[in-house]
Amino acid sequence: MSTLLKDSEKRKFISLVISLPALIIGFFDLGGLPVNTAWIAILLCGIPILKEAIIGLITEFDIKADVLVSMALIASVITGEIFAAGEIAFIMTIGSYLEERTVSKARAGIESLVHMTPTIARVLRSGKEYIVPVEEVVKGDILRVLPGETITVDGTIIKGETSIDQSPMTGEFLPIEKREGDTVASGTINQFGSFDMRADKIGEDSSIQRMIKLVESADAGKAKIVGLADRFATWVVVIALLSAVITWIYSREIIRSVTILVVFCPCALVLATPTAIMAAIGNASKHGILVREGDALERLSKIKRVAFDKTGTITYGKLKVAGIIGLERITEEELLRMAASLEYRSEHPLGKAVIEHYNKYGKKDIYEVTEFKMSTGRGVEGLYDGTLCYAGNEVFMAEKGIRLSKSLISKVKEVKEGGSTVIYLAKEKMAIGFIILTDTMRPEIEAVVDKIHNTGISTTLLTGDGETAGLYMGRKAGIREIHTECLPENKLAFIQKSEAANENVCMIGDGINDAPALKSAYVGIAMGGIGSDIAIEAADMVLISDDIKEMPHLLTLSKQMMKTINFNLAASMILNFIAIVLAITGVLSPVVGALVHNIGSVAVITNSSFLLRWRKK
């Protein structure tokens, strides 16, 4: 589909480039050629229009604007008005080219999902490990997954423990600890330990394949908006024919009938929408917004709700140290140095965040820890300055026999209610403090949400995070409706339910897990800077530099674009009406009629161009 559109655009562009000088030569009769060069425009631009009209009539009896244009072309040629015929064909091809340019879209999202799916698996059979194509895995097979590998099918861990990056499927920014008896999903990534698992769901039943199906079904459900010229083409054709026939009966002048068909051609109507859309797309691109779907701005003007993903959308999607709480008179600097020394060889995202913070703010070199040990997904330990020290979660502290005081637990509970996570720190058998880590909210998000509410549009948060973190971040941003623990199918279900209630939704997200909702939403907008390729391909628009503060401008731009389109349509129809009256009375010839008529096209293009620099004051 995408390749066909590109080939069609290329053919039309070449036809227009060749036809323009041919029309100029034909109009001024330059060179004294025996044949009017406007025939080149008729052949290159007119023949495809005639072909489309015939195919539409024969296959589906589908009357579009092409039918009236074809009649005007044929009538002009029969009466010898070659330039008028070439001009009509040229103008209509410009409109068609612009329309294709605005609605063409690369459909690589589903392919990206397919490419992300692992093609091989490690299967244990008769005590030996075999590498087999994933299609050969059967339900009940025992698979081995090594650190860094993507899980091939859904299943249950039967041996080992690890941390799983579930962000591709759920959007959760923290890895989830898994051990024997826990389930794991295909498409998620094993971060640390090696483990064996039993295959429970294979093939089309696996999580990644269900994701592909969700994206496919959501894509099929999004309809295109039909151009006004085609929407009323049947009536335009009938009225044009009746006017031409009645005029010929009363005047007996075939030239008047031909002129009527010429001025009835919906050139300005065809140009009214795509030129405004192209100008608005140019405006959006200046503000760091890539519009991938031609009619997305038209749809955006009609939305009633904006649905945000959390991680990477209203937040930066990256853990940062937000605070260091020390007990027993230990300084923050000493606690940070101890934590950074212990976490120096850790690959866990929490440990990396601590190291990054220390590199930025630490005043001393990291201490070399000896007898280092790591418990996957729980914590690390080692000799720090000759003393056995620990850094990890509550489970890890309990395993090491370290008691957490009630006051400490109370402080941590308060921190977690604010949507943060913590690393406990202990020396010997005594807890000495903790480090607070959080996903930082974008500072502009509160103002963005407030401006969206001021336009009369509702807001919703759809996040895969737990209730505590989701509610905290959503309320802090000012979002009025919050849904937590959302899987991809939950987000998609919310979008579909809203659409069924005639509430058009604009979805903004960044992850693979957002792709079905982005594709299904009335308008989907992806965060381009940190967003996954699949989310970007599924979206209609992309915030290239993740500058979400441009959302209010985008919303008002879409409404201004619709005002411009409506003005274009009204002005072109009024001009058409005047030209038709003059054609019926015999004031206009076909050539002059075509020129006067196409003043509307110039006016439409000029008016649309004002959108390029428009911004609400």
E strands along 46-191, which residues?
Answer: 120-125, 128-133, 142-145, 154-159, 162-165, 176-178, 183-184, 189-190
Return d(Cα 43, Cα 82) in angstroms, integer. Answer: 11
What pLDDT score does 465 carry? Answer: 76
Of residues 281 and 495, the one with the higher pLDDT is: 495
CA distances from 67 to 5, 40, 420, 437, 615 (A): 22, 21, 64, 65, 39
Q: How far is CA 144 from the centre of its chain?
A: 35
Q: What b/e string do you get for 510-521 counting C-beta neighbours within 10 Å, with b at 16 or more?
A: bbbbbbbbbbbb
Q: Each residue of 237-290: pLDDT tens digit?
A: 777 778 888 888 888 887 788 778 777 766 667 777 777 887 888 888 778 787
Query: Any residues with CB less than 8 A from the CB of 511 and at least 6 apart, and which?
Result: 167, 168, 171, 309, 311, 312, 531, 532, 535
What pLDDT score does 210 carry? Answer: 61
The CATH number fitting domain 118-151+153-205, selected from 3.30.70.340, 3.40.50.2300, 2.70.150.10, 3.40.50.970 = 2.70.150.10
What pLDDT score does 2 carry? Answer: 46
Residue range 69-78: average pLDDT?
Answer: 80
Return d(Cα 110, Cα 515) in angstroms, integer. Answer: 10
309 carries an active-site annotation: yes
Query: Any residues with CB less than 8 A from the CB of 77 and at least 6 apart, and which?
Result: 42, 85
Q: Each residue of 340-393: pLDDT tens digit?
A: 999 887 777 788 889 988 888 776 778 888 888 888 778 899 999 889 999 998
Q: Each residue of 574-591: pLDDT tens digit?
A: 887 888 888 888 887 776
Return d(Cα 397, Cα 402) in angstroms, integer. Answer: 5
* DSSP code at position 102: H
**193: its two tokens:** 């330990």
CA distances from 162 to 262, 423, 461, 501 (A): 73, 18, 30, 43
- pLDDT at 12 > cutoff 90: no
Architecture of the domain whose range is 316-440: 3-Layer(aba) Sandwich (3.40)
- The kind and range of the H/E element at 73 are helix 65-78
Query: Any residues with CB less than 8 A from the CB of 58 and at least 6 apart, and which?
Result: none
Of residues 168 and 202, the one with the higher pLDDT is: 202
Return d(Cα 284, Cα 557) in angstroms, integer. Answer: 8
- pLDDT at 527 > cutoff 70: yes
Secondary structure string (H, E, C) spanning 224-273: CCCCHHHHCHHHHHHHHHHHHHHHHHHHCCHHHHHHHHHHHCCHHHHHHH
What pLDDT score does 231 carry? Answer: 62
- pLDDT at 130 > cutoff 80: yes
Q: In the chain, what percentage of residues exceed pLDDT 90?
A: 17
Coil, strand or helix: which one is 145? strand
**485: its two tokens:** 């623990």
Coil, strand or helix: which one is 37? coil
- Reported as a pLDDT band with limits 50, 70 and 90, residue 305 is very high
Return d(Cα 66, Cα 91) in angstroms, integer. Answer: 12
Q: What b/e string do you get for 531-548 counting C-beta neighbours within 10 Å, with b at 16 or more?
A: bbbbbbbbbbbbbbebbb
Coil, strand or helix: which one is 420? coil
| Residue 500 burial by Cβ neighbours in a 10 Å radius (0-12, 13-18, 19+) | exposed
- pLDDT at 25 > cutoff 80: yes
Return d(Cα 201, Cα 231) in angstroms, integer. Answer: 47
Least confident residue range of 35-39, 262-266, 391-395, 568-572: 262-266
pTM above the 0.75 mark?
Answer: no
Q: What are phi and psi of 382, to 5 degrees?
A: 170, 170
Q: How far is CA 106 from the centre of its chain?
A: 12
What pLDDT score does 110 carry? Answer: 39
Q: Strands 541-543, 289-291: parallel, antiparallel or unpaired by DSSP?
A: antiparallel
Of residues 34 and 131, the one with the higher pLDDT is: 131
Domain boundaries, given as residue ranges, for the chain? 2-104+222-281+557-613, 118-151+153-205, 316-440
Q: Strands 379-384, 315-326: parallel, antiparallel or unpaired by DSSP?
A: unpaired
- pLDDT at 569 > cutoff 60: yes
Catalytic residue among 154, 309, 439, 510, which? 309
- pLDDT at 561 > cutoff 70: yes
CB 26 within 8 Å of CB 82: yes
Coil, strand or helix: which one is 534? helix
What is the DSSP secondary-structure string of 272-292?
A: HHHHHHHHHHHHHHHTTEEE-
Coil, strand or helix: which one is 34? coil
Nearest one of 150, 214, 147, 161 to 188, comparing CA atoms: 150
- pLDDT at 466 > cutoff 90: no
Q: Strands 541-543, 315-326: parallel, antiparallel or unpaired by DSSP?
A: unpaired
What pLDDT score does 376 carry? Answer: 72
Q: What is the mean pLDDT of the chain?
A: 80
